[in-house]
Chains A and B, each alone.
Chain A
């Protein structure tokens, strides 16, 4: 449950950007949280409303895109979706699976009101 400190750092980052742009408020924040990023989108949203109170992002709508994780088999090279770290290759049953995506955690964009 590190979501609160994460929520605060998101508020800090978007506020800095919004100020730079001369915004009156932030109406939307688009986040990308990969399924393997180690962040619970729901609890982040819950913390966000508390973290954003009294800031430019107070009214902001949080949109979260949660891309699936992708793994690549170290034996046969097959790419397949993974939802946890101990995935098994569906073809050759190898456990040598490298996570190639799904760990991203980004502030994609913000929508500001002027």
Chain B
């Protein structure tokens, strides 16, 4: 319902599955979780104002994103307990999130079960592409919403039969701004940028890059044709986040993917 980019916070998100046209689950709090009485006040203290109406000030000291953050922690606890490694993939639209998943999943699948949650405003196009790989996938259609939140992931996870000791890839809505604020309970945030964008993108959207743990530069096969300075981009990204892991790949040609896969597999073993 955001008048600029259309965030909908009225629980308008819907879960869908590829090939099951009747399948349709609305994301709402009752389906998502049982207890949503999180509001805990700090110390209430009264200030007596000499107004005609009796008014008083109550301290809340409550994090605005508390509800999302608490639910994200529940998701995280669930993932940890079942040894599910959850990655949140973030980027602007068209930088190749789905193409990258299509390339790395078949290779990773040999070592570990993989499941995918796809986030888009509309269509099951991305979920259909992942479904074709033969891995469990669920599509979250956010309607007018501009990001996934912890409740949507919570609901999606209930519909996906996740295996213990597996990898869960969550592909967020293509957007370099809003999804940065919403913790989903993932282990790591992966931001993807492509060489057809600007190499100053990390500086223009610092919140996202600051939040990210891994940055993947995609479409490097196009480097000879575009004015994109990969070194400069890396420098910019590392200025915003000093501990960022950096990868350069082409989901199209496969260049750089073995290094990325190796890194993910190493992470999986470390847990």
Contacts and interface: CB of A to CB of B under 8 A. Distances in A.
Interface residues of B, number: 47
B147 interface: yes
B4 to A, nearest CB: 4
Contact of A9 (B44, B55, B65, B203): B65
Interface residues of A, number: 39
Centre residue among A10, A28, A96, A106 by max chain B CB count within 10 A: A106
Contacts of A4: 1-3, 7, 9
A14 B62 CA distance: 10
Interface in B55-88: 55-68
A9 B61 contact: no
A111 B55 contact: yes
A1 B5 contact: yes
A8 interface: yes
B98 to A, nearest CB: 23
B65 A108 contact: no
B264 interface: no
B39 A109 contact: no
Contacts of A56: none
Contact of B58 (A3, A10, A85, A110): A110
Given A2-B177, A4-B3, A85 B64 contact: no
B61 A108 contact: yes
A13 interface: yes
Chain A contact residues, majority secondary structure: mixed
Interface of B: 1-5, 7-10, 39, 41, 44, 53-68, 145-147, 177-178, 180-182, 203, 206-207, 209-210, 236, 238-242
A50 B182 CA distance: 22
A28 B1 CA distance: 24
Interface string A5-25: 110111001101100110000
Contacts of A95: 238-239, 242
Contacts of A110: 57-58, 60
A112 B39 contact: no
Nearest to A99: B210
Contacts of A114: 53-56
Contacts of B67: 9, 13
Contacts of B147: 2
